[in-house]
Amino acid sequence: MGEPNLDYIRKIANGDQEFFNKLIKIVKFELPNEVDSYNDYMQRGCFMQAANIVHKIKHKAIILSWEDAYQIAATHEENLKAGSNVDQASFDNYLTAMLRYISTI
């Protein structure tokens, strides 16, 4: 499953602590809201709308240097677009881990 980390954010911040802090703040603000929207769409069976949210979350996985989460998000996004939620449980596990991680940074 791997672990998220801040390597990518550190790389793009390139030593600029203010920019680094802004990126962290954005992730910490956006991700919980996106997860709430995703869960709402999934509960209502709105797979296309959920796929749009998964697309955004997928990019958070990259920002958190978490390739495994990115891969499951990409697969889940495509499956949702095809009308299938086959990867929901796996994706939800990654979401839980991502939310737990951002609460520690």
Distance CA 65, CA 61 (A): 6
Q: How many residues does the chain have?
A: 105
Domain boundaries, the chain: 7-102
- Judge whether residue 35 has pLDDT over 70: yes
pTM for the structure as a whole: 0.92
What is 51-74 written as a DSSP string? HHHHHHHHHHHHHTT-HHHHHHHH
Structure tokens at 12: 């793009």
Mean pLDDT over 67-71 rounds to: 96
How confident is residue 8, by pLDDT bands cut at 50, 70 and 90?
very high
